[in-house]
Structure 1
Amino acid sequence: MSGHGAPEANLQNLTAAGEKGLTVAIIASSWHTQVMNGLIDGAQRAAADAGVTAELIRVPGSFELPVAAARLAPRFDAVVALGVVIRGGTPHFDFVCAGATNGLMDVAVTTGKPVGFGLLTCDTEEQAIDRAGLPGSAEDKGYEAMAAALETAVVLA
């Protein structure tokens, strides 16, 4: 299980994000509606736990996440990128995953703003559903991505 050994969200740091009035954007792709709904719900739940209002911005797909994050990062204390790419029979999966991952990392490093990484890169739809924070899912990657971004923003504030 990929989540084995993951830390629990630090609720004290999450609460501090709300107390500091931190701002956050959720940038979410539009592919795979069921999975994306779960990821968005998880991220919004973590923001609510922190006392932070998150602005939701939708983009067509995961490949568009970095450019949206680059444009939005200067306006927010943190951004959370949510998407899902499911392996198919062509190298398209590898190009989209690498491009989106490298792009999001570049945004974080060049802007100095936390980018919560909620991009699922899965072999099957079942794996994505198991990570989407849906009823019966083993993991809630949307929540985790928001918590990581907010906790990092508190450390950097």
Structure 2
Amino acid sequence: MSAHGAPSIAIDGAGKTVDIVASMWHTEVMDGLVAGALRAVEAAGATARVIRVPGAFELPVVAEKLARGGAEAIVCLGVVVRGDTPHFDYVCEAVTRGLTDVARTHAVAVGFGVLTTDNDAQALARAGLQGSQEDKGAETVAAALATAAVLASLDV
């Protein structure tokens, strides 16, 4: 699993709002990712706003709007499962590039919680559900809040 070597990040999110933008595709996996993200927000002492979008492809445009509005931490959650066509590659590349552009253009913390898996079993293993091996929703919140703290500390 990719969690091997992951840092343990303790975050004080008091006074911060985390905008969680979550895809609607793959309901069971997404419900787990969102629940994990909300648990992590609460544990950090932050508040959350959840915004649902149709699919992973729509994550960047909503993240862009939030960044323009002054968001402190944006967590983007989605699932793209490889199929029989190159659609997987196009969606993954567009989402990755789009979210990277938002983070760099606005110097805002954008947590990348988009699972890109070969099959449903791999997505379920990372969804933070009972029996899952990882909780990528919670991990993404921790990364976004930690990045937001670093950005806020920089006097440049």
TM range (shorter): over 0.9
Partner of 1:45: 39
Pairwise CA distance, 1:2 = 1.6
The residue identity in structure 2 corresponding to 1:68 is V
Partner of 2:22: 28
Pairwise CA distance, 1:56 = 0.3
2:93 equivalent to 1:112: no
SS of the residue corresponding to residue 121 of structure 1 reads strand
2:92 equivalent to 1:92: no
Aligned length: 151
SS of the residue corresponding to residue 34 of structure 2 reads helix
Partner of 1:101: 96
Partner of 2:140: 145
Aligned sequence identity (%): 60
CA distance in 1, matches of 2:21, 2:148: 17
The residue identity in structure 2 corresponding to 1:6 is A
Pairwise CA distance, 1:98 = 0.5
CA distance in 2, matches of 1:84, 1:38: 11
Pairwise CA distance, 1:75 = 3.0
Partner of 2:5: 5
Greater helix content: 1
CA distance in 2, matches of 1:110, 1:23: 20
Unaligned runs of 5+ in 1: none
- Relative to the length of structure 2, the TM-score reads 0.94
The residue identity in structure 2 corresponding to 1:71 is K
Kindly report structure 1 stretches of 4+ aligned residues shifted beyond 4 Å: none
Unaligned runs of 5+ in 2: none
CA distance in 2, matches of 1:75, 1:33: 29
Root-mean-square deviation (CA), in Å? 0.8
User: Of 118, 127, 148, which residue of structure 1 is paired with 2:122?
Assistant: 127
CA displacement 1:8-60 (0-9 Å, x = unmatched): 2x22xx12x21xx1222000000000000000011111100111111000000
Pairwise CA distance, 1:76 = 1.4
